[in-house]
Amino acid sequence: MKRIKFWIRNYFGFSKKETNGFIIIVTIMILSVSGVLVYPYVAGKIFGNRQVENLDQNTLDSLEALIDKQTAELAAKKDVLKKEYEAKKASTSSPQKKKKRKKFVKEPAFQAKETFAFDPNVATIEEWQKLGFSARLSKRIHNYVSKGGRFHQKSDIKKIYGFPDEAYDHLVSYIQLPDKRERKYASSNPYESGQKFKKRVITPFELNEADTAQLKQISGIGEKLSARIVKYRESLGGFVNPIQLKDVYGLKPEVIEELLKYASIKPETIKKINVNTATYEQLKTHPYIRYKLAKIIVNYREHHGKYTSMADLGKIKILDQETLEKLEPYIGF
């Protein structure tokens, strides 16, 4: 069916709707003619040959006339559509239409024109165009400067996208910039520069009482890291052993080593937590206890009474020996 539709559309120049209508009409015509041809035979079988012979000749004539009329209409429509198609085709390919189509010609990026001394950091779009640059490239260079870009030496101008080498070669002697960028370096010798450096003196301090200002004196410890050390120390109740500093996130071993040159730890500064009076909220904040263990410690205390020693805490099954030893300096009864 698709092939038939394709053939009809190509031959008659019909649209999709017209093709479908044409097929319907032809189908009706075929059925009509078939009915006329088959009817005498079928009717003869049903009604007998006598009644079939009386078939109205006028009916056959009218059907034949209808078929001829519709065929003529289709042929006429084909001619009209064909003429419209040819006229449309001729109008699109006429010389007048062709003249209107302008061929795109790419504007060259640079064509040598005037020459004059210029500073690319202050030159206007008009000045770039006078030098021979295209409007597009002139605007690109100007936009680069207007957005904060700077040319420090002559060759910097070649960094502009699309800047032609021949333009640089032609104008290099007119660019009011140094051939090479001048750099000023500070002397690495303090005696040459006249600077005097004082050796930093750090007063030794107690780690559990130090504030962030004292901690920041240590090389490698800044604002965030000093605050992190103090926060972890307060949650513990104080540092007992220098090895605990390794638990502070971001504190590198070499920084810990530098810190311990000036910081000392006094055991008497440790703040203990009473497991018999501390609430769940207080216990859960300790780094060695946290939520689950805090809940178990409180529940065990409520069912078995007060703790009297670390041995009582050891009765809690989830508490291993290592955790008990870490907790011991911080637990009070």
Alpha helix stretches (DSSP H) within 194-306: 212-215, 223-236, 253-259, 280-283, 290-304
Model confidence at 52, pLDDT cuts 50, 70, 90, reads very low
Residue 209 in this model has a pLDDT that exceeds 70: yes
| pLDDT exceeds cutoff 80 at 13 | no
Q: How confident is the model at residue 293 (pLDDT cuts 50, 70, 90)?
A: very high
Among residues of the chain, what percentage have pLDDT more than 70? 80
Residue in the block written with tokens 């040598």 = 112
Distance of CA 269 to the CA centre of its chain: 53
Q: What is the pLDDT of residue 221?
A: 94
Q: Which CATH number fits domain 205-269: 1.10.150.320, 3.30.1860.10, 3.40.640.10, 3.30.420.40?
A: 1.10.150.320
Do 127 and 118 meet the contact criterion of CB atoms below 8 Å apart?
Answer: yes
Determine the 3-state secondary structure of 264 from DSSP. strand
Tens digit of pLDDT for each residue in 133-183? Answer: 999 999 999 888 888 888 999 999 988 988 999 999 999 999 988 988 766
Which of 162, 171, 158, 96 is closest to 130 using CA atoms?
171
pLDDT over 90 (residue 95):
no
Q: What is the mean pLDDT of residues 61-90?
A: 77
Q: Where are the domains of the chain?
A: 2-89, 109-180, 205-269, 273-332
- Which residues, in sequence order, are CB contacts of 20 under 8 Å at separation 6+? 5
Question: Do residues 256 and 245 lie in contact, with contact meaning Cβ atoms separated by under 8 Å?
Answer: yes
Same fold, 109-180 and 205-269: yes
Least confident window among 75-89, 285-299, 311-325: 75-89
User: Whole-number mean pLDDT of the chain?
Assistant: 83
Angle at 76 between CA 71 and CA 82, to 5 degrees: 125
Q: Is the pLDDT of residue 307 over 90?
A: yes
Tell me how long the chain is: 333
Residue 199 — pLDDT band, cuts 50, 70, 90? Answer: low
Maximum average pLDDT range among 63-77, 193-207, 260-274: 260-274
Are 260 and 319 a contacting pair, CB within 8 Å? no
Matching residue, tokens 């394709």:
6
Decide: residue 275, CB within 10 A, 0-12 exposed, 13-18 middle, 19+ buried: buried
- Chain-centroid distance of CA 29 in Å reads 64
> Taking the model in full, what pTM does it have?
0.42
pLDDT reading at 299 higher than 70: yes
What is the per-residue pLDDT across 97-144, written as a single tens digit (0 to 9) for each?
555 555 556 678 899 888 888 999 989 999 999 999 999 999 999 888
Reported as a pLDDT band with limits 50, 70 and 90, residue 279 is very high
Q: 109-180 domain in CATH 1.10.150?
A: yes
